Structure 1
Amino acid sequence: MLINKYYEDYTVGEEVITSGRTLTHADIRLFNGATDASHPAHVDAEYSKEHPFGKIVVPGALIIGVIDGFVVQNLFTRKTKIAHYGYDKIRFLSPVTPGDTIYMIAKVIEKRDKNEGFGIIKFEFDVKNQEQKTVAIVHDLQMVEKKGEN
């Protein structure tokens, strides 16, 4: 169980290993239904044979969504006020295919004050598959509540 952590409680260099999630064809279909982003590389096995990866791949935007779930479930409690502040880097290094399980190692790489109530924490997310192979690197910025008068 997570303890309440605020901006001041995070230190540069700190790492958290998150839970994992197995991605499925159903996840891709639900994502496509919600976004209308149904490129054949994500749903058509015959088309995908001619694609650079040779098989159906999980959309990158869906992977980013799963990463956001890892942030909410593994890095902060619901009591701590946070807001997504943006991305400085997103790189997909290896395809994720249906049946793969991903997790991430979240490392604090930078902190800076935003205002009296919040600071910005920059995380590097090393997203790995079930074989511990890095599939994505993401630099994510979170605006995180300071302790203040809590």
Structure 2
Amino acid sequence: MEQTTYFEDCEIGFSRVTTGRTITETDFVVHAGHTGDFFPYNMNAEFMKKTPFGQRIAHGIMVFSIGVGLTASIINPVAFSYGYDWLRFIRPVFIDDTTRTRATIVAKEDDPKRHDPGRVIERCEVINRRDEVVLATDRIYIVERRKTA
């Protein structure tokens, strides 16, 4: 869906929640194959039985990728993603956990590198079925301002 939202239209506190996505064993295997990350915490069920987790935990970067991907439902032709300021893995995600992402505008500021557009900071929180935050990051958007006559 396309929706033009200029810098002036972005409201601090505006929040949206995505649909859910169940994390599967296939996700673990595909992610490990793509990245080469076969760390035993993610891939060795027998090893993990002996840990406090008791089972394999999802790769943090995989949870990040899926969580951010879930927010990609609106195309804004006057904005683009500039990157992420910080990233925290707060709780483990396991096979068969269903996650969704809550994205909330937390700040707006002038862009020190560009004259016209501004920066909009959106806090992305991946949450599990118990509404616990499992991952948090701040995404920075560069957003055009309305042209004035």
The two structures share one fold, judged by TM-score above 0.5: yes
Task: Tell me how many residue pairs correspond in the alignment.
Answer: 146
**In 2, distance between residues paired with 1:5 and 1:119?**
12
Contact 1:110 1:121 in 2 (8 A): yes
With normalisation by structure 2, the TM-score equals: 0.85
In the alignment, is residue 93 of structure 1 matched against residue 90 of structure 2? Answer: yes
**In 1, distance between residues paired with 2:17 and 2:116?**
27
Label 1:52 to 1:146 Cα distance change in 2 as closer, same or farther (>3 A).
farther
The one-letter amino acid paired with 2:143 is V
The one-letter amino acid paired with 1:83 is S
Which residue in 2 is equivalent to 1:79? 77
CA-CA distance at 1:43 after TM superposition:
1.3
Contact 2:58 2:95 in 1 (8 A): yes
Label 1:108 to 1:137 Cα distance change in 2 as closer, same or farther (>3 A).
same
Label 1:38 to 1:148 Cα distance change in 2 as closer, same or farther (>3 A).
farther
Note the 1:56-135 alignment, pairs <5 A: 56-73=56-73, 76-77=74-75, 79-87=77-85, 89-114=86-111, 115-135=114-134
Label 1:117 to 1:98 Cα distance change in 2 as closer, same or farther (>3 A).
farther
The one-letter amino acid paired with 2:105 is V
CA-CA distance at 1:117 after TM superposition:
4.2
Q: Deviations over 1:43-78 (max 9, x none)?
A: 1110111233121111000011112212322xx415
- Aligned residues: CA RMSD: 2.0
The one-letter amino acid paired with 2:83 is Y
Contact 1:5 1:77 in 2 (8 A): no
Structure 2 residue runs without a partner (length 5+): none
With normalisation by structure 1, the TM-score equals: 0.85
Which residue in 1 is equivalent to 2:35? 35
Which residue in 2 is equivalent to 1:48? 48
Q: Which runs of 4+ in 1 moved over 4 A?
A: none
**In 2, distance between residues paired with 1:117 and 1:23?**
40
Label 1:72 to 1:145 Cα distance change in 2 as closer, same or farther (>3 A).
farther
**In 1, distance between residues paired with 2:42 and 2:144?**
38
Question: Percent identity between the aligned chains?
Answer: 25
